[in-house]
Structure 1
Amino acid sequence: MTVQDKVIAITGASSGIGEATARHLASHGAAVVLGARRTDRLDQLVQEITAAGGRAAAVRVDVTDPDDLRSLVDLALARFGRLDVLVANAGISRISPITDFDVEGWSAMVDVNVKGVLHGIAAALPVFRAQGSGHLVTVVSTSGLKIVPTQAVYAGTKNAVRTLLEALRQESTDGVLRTTSISPGYVRTELIDSAVDDPQLRAQAKQNMSDLGIDPTAVARAIAFAIDQPDDVEIGDLTIRPTRQG
């Protein structure tokens, strides 16, 4: 795989898709630079990757803080000399009807899911330009492809990111930058744990996750597939979901 020897930074790396992606890429020879708010989990993950012969480093990252994203990129440069890929995986979800007026939750989703990706772009793109190559991978969602009640704002943030990457792609036809949007469906992660306040909606969401959810390693493999392409090939959009998801 061409992921071997690439330096890949991952946000939201302490659990779920981010953790699975870190493990998968490191096992195929990539150096992974991990960011998340839960540093205890990050430290444990770095220890496990390095004990298995991989290369990993970590720093606390809250994607709502632009300085934290710069610290993530700086760590990649300091430890491994370059940054080839940024996987913008950090995200949060709040599921409720718009008429619940969860203004605080709406703002949090915009801050993490949209501004967090922009902060990553601002931190990584100058490095990619200086190197003459780079790859932005964002984890969005099938919620932005099939719009359903109770997920309007969450889907809106994911579609905003999809739009951002398409515009950036069109601005970057000089061959320096590749962009990829990965849209997972139901994946067994912790995302739903803090997403729903309504007991009935929470029970339904957990049931759907239990019945349909695929392992996050499946998404990690999809991310690796996009990174693995030759430099002149770009996987712009990739949807991965359970075969039984409607």
Structure 2
Amino acid sequence: MFELKWLYELIIMVYCLSLIGYFIDFIQNNRKANRIAFWLLSMVWVLQTFFLLSQMLLNSNFPIATIYDGLYFYSWILVTFSLVINRLFRVDFFVFFTNVLGFFMMMLHIFSRAQHDATEQALRLVSELLVTHITLAMVSYGFFTFSCIFSVMYLLQYRLLKEKKWSKRLMRLGDLGQLDGLSYIAVVLGVPLLLIAILLGFVWGYISGDTVYIIDSKTVGSIIVLMVYLVYLFMRVVKGYQGRTMALYNTGAFLFLLVNFFLFGTLSNFHFL
């Protein structure tokens, strides 16, 4: 697959400069560095989007079928939603924490090129249904990622308050109630998307005639991930749990999601993502 190598390298460079700006703001409470970092991150989004569209035009399909493409799209999702959330809610440090993970995904994207090259030809004719299945799954993972980051920020804020370590940095982490609420909303959005993605995966397997292994590691893992987050919603809505308990549970749920994405995906008989 033809790639605009210079554009990809520019994305990495600008992304790195943006993270440096956010890190300076994190350490020194430098609002000028924060503003510069935000506009650099906005530039990253523009370049990422252009790169994504160029690959769609060059290959006549949506580049998301392999783990190579999936990691890039995951990074794009994190950048997109972090910019939107930052504008809507003004939660300091959220963009920084989110895009540390997003930059890590970009690095994994580079290292997975060898696997991508080996599988690209076999996956060139991907149906629209499969693309929808993968896209919804990746977007749901994005929401679960945001939810986990809010939970981690909640736990950090909770600990600092308990230890009475008052500082400007403490206030910039955000209000406990706001962090708890945003974490819950992200799960509410992620669960139905993951459910639909799983159902579409079974439908695609049936229509395409491919053998769908019900006991495949990735299939089972994805169903368990969905059930774990359904339990989260049950505890939150029915039982009324909230705060630190749910933040700890949510963090553990996300760790299992990562195990499913990386480990179970590798062991899968037919999943590449």
Higher relative contact order (CA closer than 8 Å, sequence separation 6+): 1
Which has the larger helix fraction?
A: 2
Q: Point out the structure with max Rg over C-alpha.
A: 2
Taking structure 2 as the reference length, the TM-score comes to: 0.29
Taking structure 1 as the reference length, the TM-score comes to: 0.32
